[in-house]
Amino acid sequence: MIETSPSFDIFITETSRLDQVDFDHLEFGRVFSDHMFLMEYEDGEWQRGRIEPYGPFTMSPASMVFHYGQAIFEGMKAYRQGNGEVSLFRPGMNIARFNKSAVRMCMPEVPEDLFMEALAALVKLDSNWVPGGSEAALYIRPFMIATDAYVGVQASKKYAFSIFTCPVNAYYKGPVRVKVETSFTRATPGGTGFAKAAGNYAGSLYPSMQAREEGYDQLIWTDAMEHKYIEECGTMNAMFVLNGTIISPETSDTVLDGVTRNSVLTLAKDLGIPVEIRKFSITELQEGLESGALTEAFGAGTAATIKPMSEIGVNGKRYPLSDSDGWQIVPWLLRELDGNRRGEITDRFDWNIPV
Ligand SMILES: Cc1ncc(COP(=O)(O)O)c(C=O)c1O
């Protein structure tokens, strides 16, 4: 079936896979909704896009993304609201960050209005795929790849922009054990750490694998120059509660400007919880863990939401944190953030965009 919007065509599947999905046992990132958005860039402009049934692409082996890694992506979520409707959470921030990543990787920006229209139409069309449930959501993955078939290091002249969605449950089951990494580096000044460039994630796999072999779930990355200051926690922004104040390492060209981090800090300030955005050294972290002044620690990210850290490894010592059920600030923030996204409390910052 074909429908048209002013900006793209819509081809609706005749064979929905919805009834094959076990929504009670969703594995994160393994189940894909019925439709995807696809739009090609060539001859210096975006071509007319389309929503079509989710399925594979056919690509030349010489497609530049396979060799030179011009690939960027985003991660965002749509939530089932208390009243049954579906809303996107702060999509404008993801769209802006996507285009910032595009500029850094020499890729064409996607017009914001078109991006928003495509997102809303796709999520609306597959709104039956948005699960309900306290940790469930529809994860949305926009991405762009270089598709020109050419061998030679330069910016591609052709790109594909696509969006697909996945019904998901919790990313991590329970709190995470993290290790402060002081040898490997995720991002360097002048590099691409602030962008969601695919290569950043490929480079993080080896150190993460080593941490897992030592019994950790994730790494806390430190600065590339001195390995002295905390930057991020895996694919989450790291935050700590020290003497009742939330400490959030500042964002920079090596730290991703997270939507969840921004939301948590905005809510915390609104709730009157003291916040400091500043450099946070490993020494200060270790002293806080030893003295007990550091009471709560967590990662903030779209996929994982707000994840308490149950153990932090620093300089070869492992520091367990108290059971997060008894924490003061993290459960409060989680209730506020989740309540806001699910329309259960007043959306006082107009973050929810209904589709
Ligand atoms: C490296 C990195 N840091 C932090 C985050 C958290 O950002 P957000 O809250 O926008 O998902 C992500 C996830 O996008 C990430 O990949």
From 253, 262, 302, give the residue whose CB has the most ligand 1 atoms within 8 Å, as the site to mutate.
302
Distance from the CA of 109 to the center of ligand 1, in angstroms? 20
Sign (positive or negative) of CA dihedral 29, 30, 32, 36: positive
User: Does the pLDDT of residue 317 top 70, yes or no?
Assistant: yes
Which whole-number Å values give the CA distances from 195 to 94, 104, 186, 207, 257, in the listed order?
11, 7, 12, 20, 9
Question: What pLDDT does 66 receive?
Answer: 98
pTM of the model: 0.96
On whether residue 261 sits in a domain, the answer given is yes
Distances (CA, A) of 7 to 113, 121, 322: 10, 11, 53
For residue 171, the model assigns a pLDDT of: 86
Residues 164 and 215 in one domain: no
Mean local confidence (pLDDT), 97-106: 98
351 found inside a domain: no
Do residues 144 and 193 share a domain?
A: no
Q: Residue 97 above 90 pLDDT? A: yes
Contact between residue 126 and residue 114 where contact means Cβ atoms under 8 Å apart: no
Given 145, 168, 191, which residue is the final one in a domain? 168
Strands (DSSP E) along 290-344, which ranges?
Answer: 294-301, 305-314, 317-320
Residue owning the nearest CA to atom 2 of ligand 1: 235
Side-chain half-sphere CA neighbours of 138 within 13 A? 31
Verify that 294 and 254 share a domain, yes or no.
yes
* β partners of residue 163: 37, 142
160 and 201 housed in the same domain: no
Q: Is the pLDDT of residue 3 over 80?
A: no
Residue 350 lies in a domain: no
Q: Are residues 203 and 330 in the same domain?
A: yes
Q: How confident is the model at residue 4 (pLDDT cuts 50, 70, 90)?
A: confident
Last residue of a domain, one of 111, 133, 168: 168
Does residue 196 sit in the same domain as residue 161? no
CB 165 within 8 A of CB 122: yes
Q: How confident is the model over 217-234, as a mean pLDDT?
A: 97
Could you tell me the CA-to-CA distances from 286 to 8, 183, 251, 275 in Å, in that order?
Answer: 54, 17, 22, 20
Tell how strand 8-11 and strand 2-4 pair up.
antiparallel
Residues 16 and 140 in one domain: yes
pLDDT digits (tens, 9 = 90+) for 112-134: 999 999 999 999 999 999 998 88
Domain boundary among 115, 150, 168: 168
- How much is the pLDDT for 1? 61
Average pLDDT over the chain reads 96
Of all atoms in ligand 1, which is nearest to the CA of residue 186? 1
Q: Is residue 37 part of a domain?
A: yes
* Enclosing domain of residue 105: 2-168
Give a yes or no: residue 291 inside a domain: yes
User: Is pLDDT at 155 greater than 70 in this prediction?
Assistant: yes
In eight-state DSSP terms, residue 177 is E
The C-alpha atoms of residue 96 and residue 195 are separated, in whole angstroms, by 11
Number of domains, the chain? 2
Cα-Cα-Cα-Cα dihedral of 3, 82, 266, 165, to 10°? -40
> In this predicted structure, what is the pLDDT of residue 311?
97
* Together in a domain, 81 and 225: no
Co-location of 182 and 296 in the same domain: yes
Tell me: do 188 and 143 sit in the same domain: no
Q: What is the mean pLDDT of residues 146-166?
A: 98
Q: For 257-303, how does the pLDDT look when each residue is reduced to its tens digit (9 = 90+)? A: 999 999 999 999 999 999 999 999 999 999 999 999 999 999 999 99
> Which residue ranges have their beta carbon within 6 Å of ligand 1?
75, 232, 235-237, 256, 258-261, 300-302
DSSP letter for each residue of 57-99 = PP--TTBTHHHH--EEE--EEEEE-TTS-EEEESHHHHHHHHH
Q: Name the residue of 237, 265, 334 whose CB sits within 8 Å of the most ligand 1 atoms, as the mutation to test its pocket.
A: 237
Q: What is the mean pLDDT of residues 224-252?
A: 97
In a domain, 348, yes or no: no
> pLDDT, tens digit, for every residue of 185-215?
999 999 999 999 999 999 999 999 999 999 9
- Whether residues 115 and 41 share a domain: the answer is yes
164/189 same-domain check:
no
